[in-house]
Structure 1
Amino acid sequence: MGATKAKRMPREVREQQMMDAAVQTFGRRGYRAASMDDIAELAGVSKPLVYLYLNSKEELFTACIRREAAALLDAVRGAVEPGLPADRQLWAGLAAFFTHTAEHPDGWSVLHRQARTTGEPFAAEVVALRGEVVAFVTGLIGAAARETLAATDRAPDLAERDVAGLAQALVGAAESLAGWANETPGMTAKETAATLMNFAWAGLGNLMDGRGWSPG
């Protein structure tokens, strides 16, 4: 009966079913501990069928990384409306990021924990994802600077390197907070986003107003 179902189910549906099983297995067990037998059993298919659809274990893990990375980027980009004030854009992006990582903890584990620690070529995939997220956040901070300039007729004292560094810091904080929030009972995505927003925007606001911290 199982073989009949496998034949009748559309290929794209069956493939996504196996990908879902792979993400769960890799996310919870890690790349090295996970086996194609585990993935096939969870997906309810034979191991040869997994190999037929998704080739090798390495290719399957790479496909999982790329799928989860694309989904996360789409969620963040789709939540940010260009016409909103800069703080609302950043809030929307952060809320979408933490909502997605909370709703897809296995996918986030694949990206943030497993791929990074397994080595190449997987780590390079995550580096590419992080680069896209940092570039997006850099654009948001740059938009905030331009918004301040338009409102006050004064350019904030933010060099391009400062903007890039702030984006790196913000993304790094978001990555750490996502893992912490997923392991903290009762912590919601909005609460996590508000934690980082309160931490980051107060500092960004002071910088935009020309009130940077100095060691004195």
Structure 2
Amino acid sequence: MSAGRGGGVRGTRLPRAVRERQMMDAAVHTFGRRGYRVASMEEIAGLAGVSKPLVYLYLNSKEELFTACVRREARALRASVRDSVDPRLPADRQLWAGLTAFFTHTAENPDGWAVLHRQARTHGEPFALEVAAMRDEMVARVASLIGAAAREAGTAGRTPELAARDMTGLAQALVGAAESLAGWRHEDGTVSARDAAATLMNFAWVGLGELLRGERWTAR
């Protein structure tokens, strides 16, 4: 028996779930580093330590394998952010926790983030739809936090006027900034998750605070 590069052992009988996880890990690594078009099923099989026919037996096709990778990585990122947030905290602390978890997860799983942020978005349906669903969930969550902040400000005696469209637009901008910052962190390699989260909080939330106090920028 010979061990594969991904830690699998040819000829060893493993539970199906374990074998599938090995193949998925190898696929995420390969797709993230090589790209969807260039990555081959043979390369993925070699990294997982299994035969190429076994990959097809378990996961049917390259397209279905990539879709499964996108779904798995999206679920993991959503769960990481969701589980980090205590809904009993004020809106700004919830956003801080979510951003820190987002930047931590993307740094610890660079191949998964590459699959979601670069590969899936550039190859059309059904891959892009999977990522869009994840992003829509994040935008909705951030918009709800902005709405909570507006309510908190109103309770404090201010009179903010934020329409649903304003909150959604601000949430879209904040999520887009987080995605861009995560990509920059990946290239830079020296910025911690907490520093990245603090940068975005200072950029977005401090400005939002002014907006909730009734300050609006206008072109003159």
Distance 1:76 1:127 in 2: 17
Following TM superposition, by how much is the alpha carbon of 1:151 offset from its aligned partner in structure 2, in angstroms? Answer: 2.1
User: Do residues 51 (structure 1) and 92 (structure 2) align?
Assistant: no
2:6 corresponds to: none
1:4 corresponds to: 11
1:170 corresponds to: 174
Could you give the per-residue CA deviations for residues 138-162 of structure 1, whole angstroms, max 9, x where no partner exists?
111111111111222x331211111
2:19 pairs with 10, 14, 23, which one?
14
SS in structure 2 of the partner of residue 39 of structure 1: helix
User: Do residues 29 (structure 1) and 34 (structure 2) align?
Assistant: yes
Following TM superposition, by how much is the alpha carbon of 1:211 offset from its aligned partner in structure 2, in angstroms? Answer: 1.1
User: Do residues 200 (structure 1) and 207 (structure 2) align?
Assistant: no
SS in structure 1 of the partner of residue 73 of structure 2: helix
1:136 corresponds to: 141
Contact residue 138 and residue 175 of structure 2 kept, 8 A: yes
User: Do residues 112 (structure 1) and 117 (structure 2) align?
Assistant: yes
Task: Give the length in aligned residue pairs.
Answer: 213
1:66 pairs with 67, 71, 92, which one?
71
Distance 2:35 2:189 in 1: 23
1:179 pairs with 164, 178, 183, which one?
183
Could you give the per-residue CA deviations for residues 68-113 of structure 1, whole angstroms, max 9, x where no partner exists?
0011111111111111111111100110110000000000000000
Contact residue 95 and residue 145 of structure 2 kept, 8 A: yes
- Percent of aligned positions that are identical: 71
Following TM superposition, by how much is the alpha carbon of 1:28 offset from its aligned partner in structure 2, in angstroms? Answer: 0.8
Segments of structure 2 that go 5 or more residues without pairing to the other structure are 2-8
TM, length-normalised to structure 1: 0.95
Segments of structure 1 that go 5 or more residues without pairing to the other structure are none
2:107 corresponds to: 102
Contact residue 143 and residue 167 of structure 2 kept, 8 A: yes
Contact residue 32 and residue 114 of structure 2 kept, 8 A: yes
Following TM superposition, by how much is the alpha carbon of 1:119 offset from its aligned partner in structure 2, in angstroms? Answer: 1.7
Which structure is higher in helix share?
A: 1
Segments of 4+ moved more than 3 angstroms: none
Structure 1 counterpart of 2:199, which letter?
A: T
User: Do residues 38 (structure 1) and 43 (structure 2) align?
Assistant: yes
Structure 2 counterpart of 1:64, which letter?
A: C
Distance 1:84 1:151 in 2: 16
